[in-house]
């Protein structure tokens, strides 16, 4: 009996050892624990163990025994930090090769993150001292569809900024509108950029009433192609979005 128990324990341990440990840099705490993927738990591992036993025609130990062997090891399941974005998460999870592939992008991301945090602090201080400034986070209900407005005013047909650079809306990090310059949209593609760049709408000489064309976003849908792009972030060998809940969010987007 003792011998059987010892054998089962040894087999369970061999099974547990097959799961890759996450690299230690992923976990900030200095600890003797090793971490398994956040996608796993003991029940999932046990089911795989059962399958393996069935395949090899071996005796299956109970879940209780499996759990007891698991608990005797210095093992934990990694819980991803909730405030970590997909890029940071992918970087932290990645091995040297995967990290290297996104190093430049990641470095830029960190620099921008630091810059925007600093900016936020500055603006909060400004708002505290001067009632003319209001710092407000935008909630969903305050978003408007401006596609019609963009079309009407030919905004997307303007390809070059007043400063002479190609305009790529997907790279905008900051947008500024001024009451005194209704025909201009100011933007930055980096928080470290000192001056805003300018889109000049006046050149198109088109008139429209912005308020007529600004509609609240009712039942927004994203284009099929966009949906597929987002879903592609959730799959593949190194998904940018890998957390179960986050994936679900993208999968549920109306399209
Ligand atoms: Zn990040």
Residues 60-87 pLDDT 10s: 999 999 999 999 999 988 876 666 788 8
- CA–CA gap between residue 107 and residue 119 (Å, rounded): 18
Phi, psi (deg, nearest 5) at residue 83: -85, 5
* pLDDT tens digits for range 232-249: 888 877 777 877 778 888
Query: What pLDDT does residue 84 have?
Result: 74
**Could you tell me the distance, in angstroms and rounded to a whole number, from the CA of residue 192 to the centre of ligand 1?**
17
Phi, psi (deg, nearest 5) at residue 144: -125, 155
Nearest CA to 109 out of 74, 134, 84, 132 is that of 84
Query: What pLDDT does residue 110 have?
Result: 94
**Could you tell me the distance, in angstroms and rounded to a whole number, from the CA of residue 121 to the centre of ligand 1?**
18
* pLDDT tens digits for range 10-30: 999 999 999 988 765 555 556
Tokens of 198: 């300018």
Tokens of 253: 């987007």
* pLDDT tens digits for range 173-228: 999 999 999 889 999 999 999 999 999 987 655 455 555 556 665 667 889 999 99
**Could you tell me the distance, in angstroms and rounded to a whole number, from the CA of residue 108 to the centre of ligand 1?**
10
**Could you tell me the distance, in angstroms and rounded to a whole number, from the CA of residue 112 to the centre of ligand 1?**
10
- Tell me the mean pLDDT in the region 121-143: 81
Is residue 229 exposed (0-12), middle (13-18) or buried (19+ Cβ within 10 Å)? exposed
């Amino acid at each position: 009996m003792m011998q059987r128990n010892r054998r089962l324990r040894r087999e369970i341990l061999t099974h547990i050892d097959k799961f890759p440990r996450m690299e230690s840099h992923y976990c900030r705490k200095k600890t003797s624990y090793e971490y398994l993927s956040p996608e796993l738990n003991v029940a999932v591992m046990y089911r795989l163990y059962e399958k393996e036993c069935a395949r090899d025609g071996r005796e299956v130990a109970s879940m209780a025994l499996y759990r007891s062997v698991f608990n005797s090891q210095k093992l934990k399941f990694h819980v991803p930090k909730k405030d970590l974005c997909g890029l940071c998460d992918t970087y932290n999870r990645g091995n040297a090769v995967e990290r290297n592939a996104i190093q430049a992008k990641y470095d830029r991301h960190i620099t921008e993150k630091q810059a925007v945090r600093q900016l936020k602090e500055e603006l909060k201080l400004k708002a505290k001292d001067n009632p003319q400034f209001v710092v407000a986070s935008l909630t969903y209900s305050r978003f408007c569809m401006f596609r019609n407005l963009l079309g009407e005013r030919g905004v997307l047909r303007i390809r070059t900024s007043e400063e002479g650079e190609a305009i790529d809306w997907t790279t905008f990090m900051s947008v500024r509108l001024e009451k005194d310059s209704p025909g201009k949209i100011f933007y930055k593609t980096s928080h470290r950029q000192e001056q805003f760049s300018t889109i000049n709408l006046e050149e198109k000489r088109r008139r429209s009433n912005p308020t007529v064309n600004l509609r609240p976003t009712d039942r927004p849908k994203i284009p099929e192609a966009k949906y597929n792009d987002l879903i592609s972030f959730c799959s593949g060998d190194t998904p940018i979005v890998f957390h179960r809940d986050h994936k679900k969010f993208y999968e549920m987007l109306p399209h």
